[in-house]
Amino acid sequence: MEKKRVVVTGIGAVSPVGNDAQTTWENIIAGKSGIGPLTRLNADDYPAKVAAEVKDFDPETYLERKEARKMDRFTHYAIAASLMAVKDAGLTIDEHNANRVGVWIGSGIGGMETFENQFQMFQKRGYRRVSPFFVPMMIPDMATGQVSIALGAKGVNSCTVTACATGTNSIGDAFKVIQRGDADVMVTGGAEAPITQMSVAGFCANTALTTNPDPETASRPFDANRDGFVIGEGAGIVVLEELEYALRRGATIYAELIGYGSTGDAYHITAPAPGGEGGARAMKLALADGGLEPADIDYINAHGTSTPYNDKFETMAVKDVFGEHAYKLAISSTKSMTGHLLGAAGGVEAIISILSIKEGIIPPTIHYETPDPECDLDYVANKARTRDVRAALSNSLGFGGHNATILFKKYEA
């Protein structure tokens, strides 16, 4: 059976560098960081002192106050980004197409803030004072559920939970739904609101977070002095459409999604497999799925968390896949500006990859000062670069040994 072509027609984001996709993109290419002092929690309680927090976001811009109170923050972000993406796509969902419009939005940890607040209530006042909305607010699939209700989308409705690979896996999984003919449109990506007491405590306990208190240098992917990631929050959502469906309704096309690779390390719960071999296989699968050769790729939006092992092994994986072409590729980690949005990272980074193709601009890796001999590729240090981008990969790697890669290219009729 011939695979259907899938294109991107809408984008929406809530991120530490902007509460919409365009502002996020403009700040990313300007090298502006959204990382600052940790304010959502008492920083004195943690060795991590910085975070990439969403700023000046009001859920009541998108939701009635009564409804917003029945949702966790990660769902607020998902609904906002989804409504923006659908509006950007100029998509009307009604009785004529609702059954063919699906939603696939993932979250790595779901409503952690709700869980903490309700557990404290339970301890103080007993079960009768726990909110009847506790479970529906907390479970990770509720972003997808609430978005489908908000949009009236009645097609495929699912949620991927693969830690930090969630956003990329979600988009890849939604891509396959359209490719095999089960939907015409998918609203897809990731959402996360993990700046909570227990999330930050847990990541501090396993020493994943940077203890660098300086927001200017805390997230420095591929730099020799990197020492951990900066926790972030937000959502990144794209509208995917079957090409003929998009053309019939006169949609504007940003790029074409042509490949997806997903693998497991079968190695360790948090550490990547030696040499990044699982990530390398994901990239190879995405290339094969999209029918491209390594030399066809111009840009990789790296997972690039600013942790010692991840950046080293991702670099090794790129060398394994691309050989000599690895040194001609432009690679950047936009986590240097957004921090790590966990399950939402792949959604926001997909948007950045799509816009790099559309605009012909490659975003920088900021705070890159001291080269690491083991990370010796072109990381587009500190300043965006104008370059024709024909095809771009976006990588995400998650706790549990999850590896995901999606492949976008310029749309050609």
The residues assigned a catalytic role are 164, 303, 340
Encoding tokens for residue 32? 């502006």
Nearest in space to 216 (alpha carbons), one of 225, 205, 207, 206: 225
* Unique residue bearing structure tokens 């040499």: 275
Question: Using CA atoms, how far apart are residues 106 and 171, in angstroms rounded to an integer?
Answer: 9
Alpha-helical regions (H) of 164-241: 166-179, 197-205
Q: In what order do the strands lie in the sheet with 157-158?
A: 157-158, 101-106, 185-192, 234-242, 6-14, 255-264, 402-409, 391-398, 299-301, 330-332
Residue 126: phi and psi, rounded to 5, are 90, 175
Asked whether 23 and 17 are in contact (CB, 8 A), the reply is yes
Q: Are strands 6-14 and 157-158 parallel, antiparallel or unpaired?
A: unpaired
Question: Using CA atoms, how far apart are residues 149 and 147, in angstroms rounded to an integer?
Answer: 5
CA 153 to chain centre: 22
Question: Using CA atoms, how far apart are residues 41 and 43, in angstroms rounded to an integer?
Answer: 6
Question: Using CA atoms, how far apart are residues 87 and 101, in angstroms rounded to an integer?
Answer: 14
